[in-house]
Structure 1
Amino acid sequence: MIVFRLIWESFRFAMQALKSNLTRTILSLLGVTVGIFAIIAVFTLVDSLERNIKGSLTFLGNNVIRVDRFPFSSGNQEYPWWRYFRRPPGNYAEFVFLNERLKNAEAITIFASSRATVKQGSNAYERAYLDGVIYNHKDVYELPIEQGRFFTEMEITAARNVTIIGVKVARALFPGQDPLGKELKIKGLKFIVIGVFEEEGEGLFDTPSKDEALLIPYGAFSKIFYIGQFGVEPTIAAKGKDDDPGLVVLENEMAGLLRAKRGLKPTEEDNFALNKSEFIQNAVGSIFAVISIAGWVIGGFSILIGGFGIANIMFVSVKERTSIIGIQKSLGAKNYFILLQFLFEATFLSLIGGLAGLMIVYAATYVPLGNLEIILSFKNILLGLGLSSVIGIVSGIVPATLAAKLDPVEAIRST
């Protein structure tokens, strides 16, 4: 019961402090408002940017290792770039070899990619992303289909002219129509649409998107493009298991098998690169971690100033209510009651400033920023409220302690 009484009295005194000198209180709370706004705005922007960028990199897959000629990061800056070009690309024979022997992969796939113009009657979609895939592709990469279905093993094996298309391609070629079962042309060859991907939405960068993609069987792709070192180079990708953190076991196993397949001697260096999809995502996370630290520094100074402002309000409040404190103590109020009363008041004042900062951030999320969607997360709201509470407690502890230690007789005599 005493807790509710303390909260009510503290809230009442906080409102009194706001009303008694509105300009002074607003100016004092401005620091907390600006500080919370700066920190939460930076965190919200960082979270939104990171989410959008990682969403744009979904074509790399999750928990996936790719066999490439070029590494995402060489690690050795002295390695001549031209030596990468001399490396042989992956091929179907290596895929079969790995598929038969890999023990630490959930699934393995091989695919080839190129740009192509797709036509249907007088409609056309230029430079669409065309991928030739095998049946296992769906087990390595997420391929959410909204309409229709994925390829059957028979369609892949027989290299049937069937395709799964993105929503942008569907809208361009079949406006106002159901594309399932209809024909389109790729390089003069007719393909039947058997599925449509779920809409992915715009990304921040010009990265491959399922909205502009077409999937066809790997064999059908080879009818259109030459697959090999001097044509479209295929990519082998393997999905790791959840109990292999960092995909260390899978990476070592793939490296050993590829070296054996390519006949590399123990003294020879690898002539392939094993690239993890998490590398780029972790690099993006590291960049935004630095930006987050900068947000803490910028907002920290504002919050510090706001803390001094609240402390000033509380010192004035203690001075103005000294006689009331004396009366309360003479009537039996304990020191902790007076202490908590002022601490609650300081916390309420700080929360008011913090809420104002959060409201400004929330209002800013409605500002259109192109493809970037800004979302104020529940985690950041809690962080803002938590910071406000801590600042209020820290700023109010000294004035509250002084108020609690006042002598009741001397306090009543004060004017």
Structure 2
Amino acid sequence: MKKILLTDLVLESKEAIKPIQYSASTVYQYGLAWDELIYFFKSHGQTYFSKKLAIRFVQDSKAELDQGFIKEWRYKLRRLSVQILIEVLETGSYLWKFHHKDANSSLTNQMKLLHNAYSAELTVAGKGNGTCGCYEVVARQFLIYVQNELHMGVSQLRLGDVGSFIPYISKFYQVTSMCTMLSALRSFLCFMYKKGLTEEKLVKAVPSSGARKNSVVPTIKKIEENQLLQSIDRTTRIGKRNYAMVLLAMRTGLRSIDIVNLELSDIDWRKRTISITQKKNRRPLTLPLLADVGNSLADYLLARHHSSPYVFLRCQPPYTKLSGCFSISCSVMKKASIRQSDNQRKGFHIFRHSLAARMLSQEIPLSVISNTLGHGSMASSKVYLSTDGEHLKTCALSLKGIEVTKEKLL
């Protein structure tokens, strides 16, 4: 690592963040954090930048946060200001990114190494990002349970310990999610046994399956869809973006991950189609570009002022693609006063459910619905049968032929 005065590195960093187009107040806040760091270095008799001392500054700030001396936003500001300096020093530039909290921070070093090894194993096995994320969460939850509740190492685990974990962790999952959780737990236990970390084959303590998904999938009515669309202010750039995203989800049933990753090249304006490779199952999918969807997309794209291969961008610096859209659907539903109970789902997936339910009520074949939604198997679309109340009524058995008798009261 090259030797450089801290003040010079700060000046380089101020230049490096200019392309991100932070607001003046954000740049000012970073300047205050760097001034605090310079003061910290001077108090330790240091004028040249030291990564070790900068990390110590962050650690001391964390201690101040834990003791209630500073607010969390100030700690985050100091931590990010140091990360910017380090990246500029090591790479000569700075690329904006989300800085997530270390999810394994509560694990011991030994447990962290085990979890990291399992994560690497999942990647080598070719698991998808969604599967890796889910399995890593369950593995972390199990290790935290072993560490904090059982107070033992994994080598001491027995079948009964795994058995006690399942009712413990079930409190944090919906009944219909237990099947996925158990599959993830099974995978992690097999990994530990294969690596010789456990004496017993602990996977034997895991039930063969979780609860069946037999609940009615949530949907919204046509009148509620109109209510949602009308509640969005389309005079602003953020309103135009949100309107286009919600309408796209309503009309096509695209998953939220495919919406935020939609690229300009995926839209063929002449052929009026949208062609993507789905992130979940990596299958190609081509859908018609309906007139109202195309108009809303064009309205938004003409209003945005920043170039990017992606369609939907952040409306604040840096103007990168969105990382998710749950907050958008939540805010739109709140403004329209729809689905405001705590137990009601508010994500974009409800638009997918609603489209499938409406197609089913119009007696569109299940195979067509499956193709429209990009399912890998037609069986995945059968869950929407529960939404078709009118046709389900015809399946009800008659009481004709069943004798009903009345008994006298004694």
* Structure with the greater alpha carbon radius of gyration: 1
TM-score (norm 1): 0.20
Higher strand share: 1
Larger RCO (CA under 8 A, 6+ residues apart):
1
Q: TM-score, normalised by structure 2?
A: 0.20
